[in-house]
Amino acid sequence: MEGSIAEEFLDDRDRAIISLLREKGLMTPGELLKATGIPRSAFYRRINRLKREGIIEQINMAGKTYYRLKEG
């Protein structure tokens, strides 16, 4: 993500999500919501945009949804 075109469009809340995922690796939506304090609807708009930009990815394991930074 460093130096990517998308980085110039990130705000503090986007950076908070990215920082948490960098620190923790995998996090559920609930964990991210609680840690960031971002309202639910705004959170999912951000998550979807970060996924479209190729910054994060969603994975499903054991019936749960997780997010992590996209590798590469």
Identity of the residue numbered 4: S
| pTM, rounded to two decimals | 0.84
Residues listed for the chain: 72
Residue among 19, 3, 13 nearest 49 (CA): 13
Give the residue-averaged pLDDT of 56-65. Answer: 96
Q: 10-69 adopts what CATH topology?
A: Arc Repressor Mutant, subunit A (1.10.10)
Per-residue pLDDT reduced to its tens digit, 15-57: 999 999 999 999 999 999 999 999 999 999 999 999 999 999 9
Domain boundaries, the chain: 10-69
- Return the minimum-mean-pLDDT range out of 9-13, 40-44, 49-53, 61-65: 9-13
| Helix extents (H) in the chain | 12-24, 29-36, 40-52
